[in-house]
Amino acid sequence: MFESISDLFGNVNLWMIGRSLGEIFLIYMVVYVVLRIMQGTSGTSILRAVAFIIVLISIGVLFFVRKLQLITIDWLITEFVPVFIIPIIILFQPEFRRALLRLGQNPVFSMFVKAEYQATTEIIKAVEILSRNNIGALIAIEREVGLDNFVETGTKLNAVVSSELLNTIFWPGSPLHDGAVIIQEQKISAAGCLFPLTEKTELSKSLGTRHRAGIGLTEETDAMVIIVSEETGAISTGFKGTLNRDIDVKGLKKILDELSTERFGVARSAQV
């Protein structure tokens, strides 16, 4: 249809292209500032996804749809979508939120890698002791999506990760043992934290509040959770809304190592 790219864009006014690029740049700067302000919250991933979609639609409409005179698609974007997008978002708000979180958590958006995590050994040691003594525990390890909102629901500690401290926190009788521990950047940021419960109905009836809270957090963030059952001592891990049940210490080590290779914020440790 077109002999070359220059034929495709040859009639596009250079001033219009410059203006469009300038508008995209201004949108980028506004989104960047907002992202910096919201750093450490799950809203960061959602804004990343929204910005990506806006830029994609803008480029698609400005440089392809209208240039190729795709009238039907142009009408759908400019007339149909604005009218129905708000009711659709309201009706499917949870689904849209999860979709935007997934898109914003895509490795493509991760331009920089977090500092390596060196406390894997202490976590595994603590989980092994907790499991052996049938002591319930819920530990969340932060990745790209910040968990600061959930830190606010607990007691802030900002302590070095150690198996002794983790066992003390979850020991029955401790005022913080019923909540969750959040680990951020090689530190125990807070304990006794509260997580949202999953709304999944297909889960086993044997799973209690601790497991449902762990799954609920992974549905809203990209955190990894480690769960120890109080009834059986079984170890489970949760990630992206999926629960991996009844694993042993070697299995936990393998999962942490696999996550580390995918830049999930838990670096390999030679001591593990």
- Is the pLDDT assigned to residue 142 strictly greater than 80? yes
Between these two residues, 10 and 206, which has the higher pLDDT value?
206
Q: What pLDDT is stored for residue 34 in this prediction?
A: 66
Residues 245 and 139 in one domain: yes
Q: Domain check: are 27 and 141 in the same one?
A: no
pLDDT of 213 > 70? The answer is yes
Residue 96: both structure tokens together? 């849209």
Q: Is the pTM of this model over 0.75?
A: no
Residues 135 and 89 in one domain: no
137/235 same-domain check: yes
Do 88 and 201 lie in one domain? The reply is no
What is the C-alpha separation between 11 and 9, in angstroms, rounded? 6
Q: Is residue 268 part of a domain?
A: no
pLDDT at 253 over 90: no
Whether 218 maps to a domain, the answer reads yes
What whole-number distance in Å separates Cα of residue 57 and Cα of residue 127? 47
Tell which of 83, 109, 135 closes a domain. 109
- Residue 77 is predicted with a pLDDT of 66
Here the tokens at position 5 are: 């790219």
β-bridge mates for residue 182, sequence order? 140, 190
What single letter denotes the amino acid at residue 112? F
Report yes or no: 257 and 268 within 8 Å, Cβ to Cβ. Answer: yes
The distance of Cα 241 from the centroid of its chain, to the nearest Å, equals: 10
Q: What is the mean pLDDT of the chain?
A: 76
Mean pLDDT of all residues in 2-22: 59
Residues 27-31 have a mean pLDDT of 71
pLDDT at residue 155 above 80? Answer: yes
**H helix runs in the chain, sequence order:** 5-9, 14-37, 43-60, 71-75, 81-91, 93-104, 120-132, 148-151, 163-170, 209-220, 249-261
In a shared domain, residues 44 and 167: no
More confident: 246 or 44? 246
Domain boundary among 45, 74, 109: 109
| Residue 222, in any domain of the structure | yes
Which is higher by pLDDT, 218 or 30? 218
Average pLDDT over every residue of 148-168: 92
Q: CA–CA separation, 167 vs 105, rounded Å? A: 31
Model confidence band, residue 229 (pLDDT cutoffs 50, 70, 90): very high
Query: What is the CATH number for 171?
Result: 3.40.1700.10
Domain identity same for 63 and 143: no
Residue 115 belongs to a domain:
no
pLDDT of 109 reads 53
Do residue 134 and residue 105 come from a single domain? no
Domain stops at, among 109, 128, 160 = 109
247 shares its domain with 137: yes
Residue 187 DSSP symbol: E
Domain presence at residue 155: yes
| Average pLDDT score over residue span 149-162 | 92
**Helices (H) and strands (E) in the chain — how many of each?**
11, 7
255 in the same domain as 153: yes
Which DSSP symbol is given to 14?
H
CA distance linking residue 237 with residue 214, whole number of Å: 9
Same domain, 146 and 249: yes
Tokens of 184: 């951020």
Residue 37 shares a structural domain with residue 11: yes
Residue 65 reports pLDDT greater than 90: no
- Stretch 181-198: mean pLDDT, rounded? 91
Domain that holds residue 199: 120-261
Rounded to whole angstroms, the Cα distance separating 181 from 158 reads 11
Work out the average pLDDT over 191-203.
88
Q: What is the pLDDT of residue 108?
A: 53
| Confidence category of residue 74, pLDDT binned at 50, 70, 90 | low
Residue 169 has pLDDT above 80, yes or no: yes
SS3 156: strand
Number of structural domains in the chain = 2
Question: Could you tell me which of 79, 48, 241, 15 has the C-alpha nearest to residue 146?
Answer: 48
What digits encode the pLDDT tens for the residues 86-135? Answer: 676 666 667 666 666 666 555 555 443 343 345 788 899 999 999 999 99
**Residue 246 resides in a domain:** yes
Q: Which residues contact 141 (CB under 8 A, 6 or more apart)?
A: 117, 123, 183, 223, 224, 225, 226, 265, 266
Q: Is the pLDDT of residue 42 over 80?
A: no
